[in-house]
Amino acid sequence: MMSVPPYRPGPFDWRHLDQQAASELWVELIDWVEWLRERYDFGRDIRPCWFRHGALVEELTAAMVAHRSSFQQTKDPYHHGPAAWHYQVLRPMMARMPAITDFEQCTQDTCGFTPARVHTLTTIAEYVDADVRQRSESPESGFFADRDSAAAGAAATLSMEKVITAIDNGTAVAEDPSDDFSAVSLDGARYEYDDEAGQYKRTE
């Protein structure tokens, strides 16, 4: 029977942080963002009131986490190091800035940003109920059963060449497309790269 695994939020998931964790993350993020604004001359692009813009806080947090990972890892400094962070994370984020948040009413001294009110139609419960009712009651049939069956027969190990080919033809999906050694899903099974063996090993 397939069930949704429990979610275990990490230290950068703002939605689930308690007071102490949020306080610690704010200290770290503020220090990093102020360094970023000064180092890259982003003072006009990332306004002083950036911390009031929720979506931007999430984006900057993700960029900070990626920056930390890219600058401290040593496996492949070109594909996963500082250079990759600049062209895969920093530049795309800055290019998306107008879509991430609205700084039009903000100045160097005041914040004119007003978050849009989010409204969900009251018919959502009715829609969800109808969606659930039209599904099969048996967990032994359908997509998950087919996937579990396929996973049972999946290979224990895969070569790098086979994984690359599978990703290229769409039969495998990389968890992190920017990581050449990312874990992948193939034939209903999950594989992680083993440095010592030089191949992918099935984990589930």
Residues 92 and 131 in one domain: no
Cβ atoms 164, 180 nearer than 8 A: no
> What is the reported pTM?
0.64
Is 85 a domain residue? yes
Residues 18 and 96 in one domain: yes
Residues 88 and 18 in one domain: yes
Is 5 a domain residue? no
Residues 34 and 92 in one domain: yes
Residues 83 and 138 in one domain: no
- Domain, as residue range, for 66: 14-100
Is 3 a domain residue? no
Residues 6 or more apart whose CB falls under 8 angstroms from that of 144 comprise 2
What's residue 143's pLDDT?
46
Is 117 a domain residue? no
Amino acid identity of residue 5, one-letter, is: P
The values of phi and psi at residue 141, to 5°, are -130, 165
Residues 20 and 85 in one domain: yes
Residues 176 and 131 in one domain: yes
Query: How many independent structural domains does the chain possess?
Result: 2
Is 116 a domain residue? no
Distance CA 40, CA 61 (A): 17
Adjacency order of strands within the sheet including 157-158: 157-158, 199-202, 189-194, 184-186, 172-174
How do the pLDDT tens digits run along the chain, 204 residues long?
556 788 888 999 999 999 999 999 999 999 999 999 999 999 999 999 999 999 999 999 999 999 998 888 665 656 668 888 999 999 999 999 999 999 999 999 999 998 888 888 888 999 999 999 888 876 555 444 545 554 555 678 888 888 888 887 888 888 887 777 888 888 888 899 888 888 899 886
Residues 77 and 138 in one domain: no
Residues 80 and 129 in one domain: no
